[in-house]
């Protein structure tokens, strides 16, 4: 199956934003990008939900995007988060990212102010008219407070460069309607739903678990793409308990940052109002990583 933004098929990783003593740790951020390049990841997505973008200043948000684009150096695609609940702010940041060399923009649905469906449509069309890079509609009503309905996404898809959807509603019916009605590239926004969504025509995932196990996520996707459904199912069954037990224990990105700290790849530092796992939760997470074979 070929979709409109086929170059983004496969594994994209929603990068964490590493902090050290309260400041963005750009050296560790660069190492994260190198880790994904070496793994063969298709795309990295900084400053999204996993990147704690709500706690970054505007200047930090821009600097992280620029740092990731520079670290990527054309070896891996970069799709930074450029969304906002203000259309003007999203427009400014999306234009800025495009000018700095981003390959696409990950634009979350305007949150908190709960626009009408016409408001969602106008918001994304405004951005699409302003830049040439592909725009990925990030639909995550559990965070934003309101769903972008499938009919609205199909209307958005009439713009050539609104060419991707990060589907994080958890609704198979919603995903089916989008896939049946357009050639838009649909990427899972939930690690554990990657295989189910690909079976319906999804083209990959924007992954949290990929921060630590990108090669395993790539193996699942590659097995499905090659027609080895049994192997894809085996990887799904291996990854599912990890996704359930790790990502389910607290709000993203708290568990993934804790896991990266345990694995020696990050300080684990968060910004308020995000707070660390409890000692018992951290012990449970360590046990989950041992069971998976990471420790």
Comparing CA positions, the residue from 183, 181, 225 lying closest to residue 204 is 225
Where residue 109 falls (left for φ over 0; alpha for ψ -120 to 50; beta otherwise) is beta
Tell me the C-alpha distance between 37 and 44, whole Å. Answer: 9
DSSP state of 52: T
Angle between helices 214-225 and 26-39 (to 10 degrees): 30
Written in H, E and C, the secondary structure of 194-250 is HHHHHHHCCCEEEECHHHCCHHHHHHHHHHHHCCCHHHHHHHHHHHHHHHHHHHCCC
**Residue 99 CB-half CA count within 13 A:** 8
- Spatial separation of the C-alpha atoms in residues 212 and 106, rounded to whole Å: 21
N- to C-terminal Cα separation, the chain: 38
**Catalytic positions, please?**
138, 166
Residues 6+ apart with CB under 8 A from 74: none
The size of the chain, in residues, is: 295
> How far is 45 from 23, CA to CA, in rounded Å?
20
Q: In a 3-state reduction of DSSP, which class is residue 266?
A: coil
């Amino acid at each position: 199956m070929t979709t409109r933004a086929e170059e983004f098929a496969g594994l994209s990783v929603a990068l964490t934003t590493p902090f050290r003593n309260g400041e963005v740790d750009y050296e560790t951020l660069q190492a994260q990008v190198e880790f994904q390049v070496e793994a063969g990841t298709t795309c990295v997505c900084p400053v999204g939900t996993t990147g704690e973008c709500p706690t970054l200043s505007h200047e930090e948000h821009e600097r992280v995007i620029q740092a990731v684009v520079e670290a990527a150096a054309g070896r891996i695609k970069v799709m930074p988060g450029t969304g906002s609940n203000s259309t003007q702010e999203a427009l400014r940041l999306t234009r800025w990212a495009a000018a700095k060399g981003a390959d696409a923009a990950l634009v979350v649905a305007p949150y908190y102010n709960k626009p009408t469906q016409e408001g969602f449509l106008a918001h994304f069309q405004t951005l699409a008219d302003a830049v040439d890079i592909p725009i990925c509609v990030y639909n995550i009503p559990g965070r934003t407070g309101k769903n972008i309905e499938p009919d609205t996404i199909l209307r958005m898809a009439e713009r050539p460069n609104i060419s991707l959807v990060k589907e994080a509603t958890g609704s198979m019916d919603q995903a089916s309607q989008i896939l049946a009605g357009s050639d838009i590239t649909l990427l899972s926004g939930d690690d554990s739903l990657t295989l189910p969504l690909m079976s319906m025509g999804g083209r990959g995932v924007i992954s949290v678990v990929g921060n630590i196990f990108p090669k395993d996520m790539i193996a699942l996707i590659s097995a499905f793409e090659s027609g080895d459904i049994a192997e894809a199912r085996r990887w799904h069954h291996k990854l599912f308990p990890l996704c359930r037990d790790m990502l389910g224990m607290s709000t993203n990105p708290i568990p993934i940052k804790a896991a990266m700290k345990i694995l020696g790849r990050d300080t684990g530092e968060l910004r308020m109002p995000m707070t660390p796992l409890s000692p018992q939760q951290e012990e449970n997470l360590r046990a989950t990583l041992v069971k998976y074979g990471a420790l």
